Amino acid sequence: MSEDTIELSPFGKNVRNQGEMNQRDLSHSADDGILSNNTSGRRQMERKFGSLSILALSVTLLASWESIASGFSPGLRNGGPAALVWGMVLSMTGTMALALSLGEMASICPLAGAQYHWTALLAPPKIRVFTTWMQGWITVFGWQAAVTSICFLVATQIQGLIILNHPEYNPQRWHGTLLMWAVMLFSFSMNVFAVQILPLLQLFGGLMHVVIFIVLVVPLVLLSPRSTAQFVFTDLLNQGGWSSDGVSWCLGMLTVTYCFTGFDGAIHMSEEVRNPARVIPRILIQTIAINGTLAFVFTLVLLFCIGDVSNVLHTSTGFPIIAIFHQTTGSVRATTVMQLTITILGFVSNIAVVASVSRLTWAFARDGGLPYSKFFAKVDGRYQIPFRAVCLVCFTAILLSLINIASTTALSAILALTTSSLFISYLIPIFMMTWKRLRKEPINFGPWTLGRWGLAINIYAIVFGLFTTTFVLFPTEIPVTATNMNYSGPVFLGVTILLVFDWVVRGRGRYAGPLKELILHAGQQDRQ
């Protein structure tokens, strides 16, 4: 080991490096939060990301305008244009409140485990270990579902392009599964064999994120038929069978809320970012600002250029955006090129997502939360990445893709965990922080803090998070059938029951909480 390579053990075990760690090693660093630069991982990974490269990774990972382009049809059916436009405004402000709240905690403790690490710092001692266990698993499940979801989306986009170019093509579910494997293999290869140039690749991806946006918007604005301003800003569609237009509007808003889910991706890369306690909070804000602005503009462009809504929604390709491109250009080739740019950005986004999720998974293994934690907590000496965690994330996505062969509905039920799980992972530490603020308990803030606005922002974040988590459980159509049923609630409940059972059988005897330094720091705060 080099002199900078150290080990951090879960609570209750020794902390060691080549020499004894002195008090300075565990002191608060202005740039690295609670833990100093030399205590940020079981084995130190190179801090290869600067402010610009981690911003590019975060922006391409979230891919908000691309998400709107790929999946705005549910919001058009439920809520209509008004839900998409004004829901975007509400989602931007709500997500910004969540990002500000998490950014403040990232400044205190910029570690890859993020949410469950912050809960370890803020939760009451009696529930600290169990809560971090549950939250760690929920966060990992949510992000794993996100990885699989992106692969599924990119794969079905490719199938949509095949249908456009070859109308006689009969898409099969196993075709989609094989395409998902190809997407995941590409992401795995880039995360392992191109890891040293990953920051450069993400910089290029971030540039393309903006350039392709402009390239697509220009022909849409110049060539498409125009919708009226009344249609875009005030029309409400309720094609889900709901008796209440208000419920339909709220469900439509979830379409644009989904495009902001996963904004915490950069946080899980904290241990490879220079000066993370200062940089990461700014990156979260900039990510929401950039992606939110582009997504809002793209939503307006789509609605003003949508043409015949019925034809767009019932396109044989399965993607209304392909129908809009074809309607605009009148050319299959031009439509193919335009859609391919979005699909390529989906590949780029998945590279960033795999990088982020593998670090989260590695961190949870480092803390003893996973089965065979010691095996998955290793950092590969050659590539300086958590290679085994990368393999685990990619292999799990491949296994989940097999479900698609039997039933797309069953796979969608698993993927529905993304929004509910991630929003719950955001809410738990924010609730803990709010409780401490209300009780005026001492909080050892990092170099970036919300100051006097913290309580108000935390409360708004909680209200928005609870609103979203509630409606994400609703079915999109009435009456409910086996096909249109929203399985996210039952699946989440089932996962929670399994986690509690696993805690009783295995977890409480092996898992002692996150890194010892966090527990010690939390204990000091409790005594204060």
pTM: 0.88
CA 236, distance to chain mean position in Å, is 29
pLDDT of residue 41: 42
pLDDT of residue 409: 78
Res 321 pLDDT > 60: yes
Domain parsing of the chain, residue ranges: 23-527
Residue appearing with tokens 């949510």: 142
Arithmetic mean of pLDDT, 434-463: 94
CA distance 425 to 446: 21
Q: Which whole-number Å values give the CA distances from 350 to 14, 62, 180, 189, 199, in the listed order?
A: 37, 10, 11, 12, 14
The verdict on whether omega for the bond into residue 479 sits within 30 degrees of 0, i.e. cis, is: yes
* Least trusted range by pLDDT, from 230-244, 298-312, 339-353, 514-528: 514-528
Count of Cβ atoms closer than 10 Å to residue 225 Cβ? 11
CA distance 74 to 355: 29
Arithmetic mean of pLDDT, 429-455: 93
DSSP-H helix ranges across 238-371: 245-258, 276-304, 309-313, 320-329, 332-366
CA 326, distance to chain mean position in Å, is 31
Q: What is the largest CA-CA distance in the chain?
A: 71
Q: Per-residue confidence at 516, pLDDT binned at 50, 70, 90?
A: low
Main-chain dihedrals φ then ψ at residue 10, nearest 5 degrees: -60, 165
pLDDT of residue 233: 95
Q: Which residue has the higher pLDDT, 234 or 525?
A: 234
Contacts of 333 (CB under 8 A, 6+ apart): none
pLDDT of residue 161: 96
Q: Which residue has the higher pLDDT, 1 or 222?
A: 222
CATH architecture of 23-527: Up-down Bundle (1.20)
Q: Per-residue confidence at 483, pLDDT binned at 50, 70, 90?
A: confident
Res 37 pLDDT > 50: no
What residues are paired with 16 via a beta bridge?
7
User: Two tokens at 419?
Assistant: 């929004």
pLDDT of residue 33: 55
Residue among 353, 265, 263, 283 at smallest CA distance from 50: 283
pLDDT of residue 2: 38
Residue among 442, 402, 490 at smallest CA distance from 152: 402
Residue among 81, 60, 63, 59 at smallest CA distance from 72: 81
CA distance 205 to 347: 10
What percentage of the chain has pLDDT greater than the value 70? Answer: 89
Res 475 pLDDT > 90: no
Number of H helices, E strands in the chain: 23, 0
Average pLDDT, the chain: 87
- For residue 1, count CB atoms less than 10 angstroms from its CB and return exposed for 0-12, middle for 13-18, buried for 19 or more: exposed
CA distance 436 to 422: 22
- What dihedral angle (degrees, nearest 10) is formed by the CA atoms of 66, 69, 75, 79? 110
Model confidence pLDDT, tens digit, residues 147-169? 999 999 999 999 999 999 999 99
Q: Per-residue confidence at 82, pLDDT binned at 50, 70, 90?
A: very high
Q: Is the dihedral of CA 291, 292, 293, 298 positive or negative?
A: positive
